[in-house]
Amino acid sequence: MREAIPPASERLAVLLTQSIQNDMVAPIGRFDPIPNKLHVGHAEALRLMGENPAEGPVARTMRWAQRQPDTALRLIHIRDWHDPSDPSQRSHLELFGEHCLQHSEGAAFAFPHDPGDKDVAVVDSLTLNDFVGTQLEALLEPHRGQSLRVGLMGVWTEAKISFLAYELRTRYPEFDLAVCSALTASSSRAHHFQALDQLRRLLGVRIIDSVGEFIDFLGSQTGDDAPLVGLSPQLPIIEIADKDGEPATLELAEVDRTLIRYLFRSCRLVRLRVLDGGFSGNIVCGTHSVDLEGQEQVPHVIKIGDQGEMGRERACFERVQDVLGNNAPSISDFADIGERGAIKYRYASMGGSFSTTFQREFQAGLGLDAVAQILDTVFGEQLMRLYKAASLEAGDLLEHYGFRHEMAPRVHANVEAILGRAVGPDTIELLPGVEITNPARFYAQTLASLPARAQDSFHQAYVHGDLNGQNIILDGHRNVWLIDFFHTRRAHVIMDLVKLENDLLFLWTPVADEDELRRGFALIDALLEVRDLAAPLDRAPEAVAASPAMARAWTTLAKLRSFYPPLIHSDRDPFQLWVALLRYAGHTLSFDEAGPLQKLWALYAACRLSARISESLIASTRLRVDFVEPAWAGAGRVGLTLLPGRRDYGRDLGDDLATLRADGIGRVLCMVPRDELERYGVGDLLDAYREAGLTALHLPVVDQKASSVADMDQALAFIDAGVQAGEAVLVHCVGGLGRSGMAVACYLGKQGLDAAEAIARVRGARGPRAVETAVQEDFVRGYLRTQ
């Protein structure tokens, strides 16, 4: 989340540097040994100090700070300064090894230290606490009670930076603390960002990703930015290449030219080629550059935009860079000046220059085998490294995708703009004979009146966050690369796949006429019938298969959805997909890129999805019992449901028991082990059944597994006794699908149905995921063979 930077003022600010010394951060080679236990290592030193430390972000910030008047910025350097002969320091040096010994080269500052007339304080820290045995408290004491802006930079983020921030927050709660992610480093990238998250969450420290915004926070009183050291006013020469044989239209502002010259300051020539994409108005170019010796450099991509956004993109990418490995670029440099920022990505292993995008190739008719190969590379190899670390987490899925009832007027306006006429709030006619619910109703009524609901549980991992066909780049050797990491974050694990599915349908797939549009409607209808996200998509419906464009989209969709099973694990309910699809279909309604018929198609999808989600949300407030079609004579009934009173779903056991009595339930078969009952907050469920006057039998089965034959015999006898007495019998596990579906299928089989018919009848009542696992299906077949 981007921090709100308050406006600069005339009041004093303080910049504290922490341990920016040679023994901690001096650049070392990739394969050089770590010089001591506290050095941050090659990768973090390179990120912090830059390829040339004299021109890197720390050096630039120090040069800026040293130019600020003492009345505007107080500069305090905290350094490790150890005396190995001092007994009081012996335990510290034994724990961390010798480092920053006083007057040694390792203890020297790793940045140009030329304060000139500036009054710079140097604090010699002997332990992990910079206030113990130092003059730091005396330096800050005159500012107690003031809303002083205090910026922190240096190492280690998870240790001395965090310890210092804690001391400052507890001693001076009125201070406004900020840390710049680009000017701090740690023992590893993961530790660095974990520490930043903790500083923000636990101490309320402002985390700023852009060097320029960090300087703005401190309040530049000289009216300038961190100097771009090494910048030449003449070189490199900047050329803008033609795009696909058409004249180039990119016009660069002078500030953007300055940033490019700085990023390529070792070059005589840089030629830019604009890359297509939904980059929020930012400049994104592939580059061909020639250094001062006349040698061609490896390809780069530069991205230029608002300095805050560029700082955030850099930080987002750095979180996942090490995981993506060789398929990802590396950040070779970054800079900001004025309100603009730039990032230079290096694609060292690229085969030739950028040639095209996945979207452009798909729309030009790329063969489906080649499409599948690209998707395998993107999702099966590159992004799967992120997705594999997914974990099941609690959260409001509607909130996660940004749904708010206040959006209703905007959605209604988009609907009217697409249809070209005023429409009512409830239903709309898209085509003759196609009348459907206005999606604005979902926002205005369903969301506005939705009662408090339990948090959803869905798998989350780091995702690209804004994946589209223009962000997937193909080089001259057809290698696949990803760009644009501004939205990279921890989110719903299938978010990227759903986003690309939306674009595939409503942006990439042509809709030539009304007949083609109706086939698109049929495609949406078929997708909404999918109730098991782990199951492969069936063959395309006849109406879809009759259109080459729609059939191609269906085949590609099937490939995209084939990546779901290892990501969602046992969470196969399509509700999570419906919510995500509605988010992106609704967003497409205002896209300039979508054609009129494509927008009508997206509108149809939004209508159907919003109605389906509304039904699901409303139904979830009352416990639903699904009764199977009887295979026996008499009035008895057998139904399935989920675990009554589930606390993780926000259910109330008393309300659910009242629902069961209203449905005429007389006896209950509970197949949930006691530890699971405790886990879901209903440890007293069996007693509650009996107190409510229900006859209950407890035959626990481990989740996803099958029962013993003896237990199944007992369960079916219990069910049959109720059926013969004309009672309504309830069978449940936790989700009301696997274990309970298995038991009811066995009972149907005992009444004369074969295994396939029995399983089909259970699924017809409860949904296609009932009798959930192969183990349970096999048990049903084997059990019935012995009867």
Q: pLDDT digit string (tens) for 552-594?
A: 999 999 999 999 999 998 888 899 999 999 999 999 999 889 9
Parallel, antiparallel, or unpaired for β 330-337 and 340-346? antiparallel
The pTM is what?
0.78
Provide the β-strand partners of residue 340. Answer: 306, 337
Return the CATH class of domain 13-218.
alpha beta
- CB 401 within 8 Å of CB 580: yes
Task: Please tell me the predicted confidence (pLDDT) of residue 349.
Answer: 62
- What gap in Å lies between CA 466 and CA 486, rounded to an integer? 8
Pairing between β-strand 283-291 and β-strand 480-482 as defined by DSSP bridges: unpaired
pLDDT of residue 5: 44
Which pLDDT belongs to residue 348?
60
Q: Is 489 exposed, middle or buried (0-12, 13-18, 19+ CB in 10 A)?
A: middle
| Sign (positive or negative) of CA dihedral 582, 495, 620, 699 | positive
Which CA distances in Å does 410 have to 30, 40, 131, 404, 608? 53, 50, 54, 11, 18
Tell me the mean pLDDT per 10 residues along the chain, length 787.
Answer: 46 93 92 89 92 90 92 95 91 89 95 84 93 95 93 96 97 96 92 94 94 88 64 86 69 92 92 68 86 88 91 90 77 88 81 76 96 96 93 91 93 95 92 93 86 76 94 85 90 98 97 96 96 91 96 98 94 94 95 93 97 85 90 91 88 92 95 96 96 96 95 97 96 95 97 96 91 95 93
- Angle (CA) 490-679-641 rounded to 5° is 95
321: CB partners within 8 A, 6+ apart: 189, 328, 330, 331
User: In this structure, what token pair is assigned to residue 302?
Assistant: 């530069």
d(CA 606, CA 521): 11
CA 255 to CA 239: how far, in whole Å?
16
At position 781, the amino acid (one-letter code) is: R
The verdict on domain 237-355 having CATH code 3.90.420.10 is: no
Exposure on the CB side of residue 760, measured as CA atoms within 13 A:
5
Q: What is the pLDDT of residues 427-437, one digit of tens each?
A: 999 999 999 99
Distance of CA 147 to the CA centre of its chain: 35
Res 220: pLDDT: 65
Which numeric CATH code is attached to 626-785? 3.90.190.10
Tokens of 123: 């604090």
pLDDT of residue 510: 97
Give the domain ranges of the chain: 13-218, 237-355, 626-785
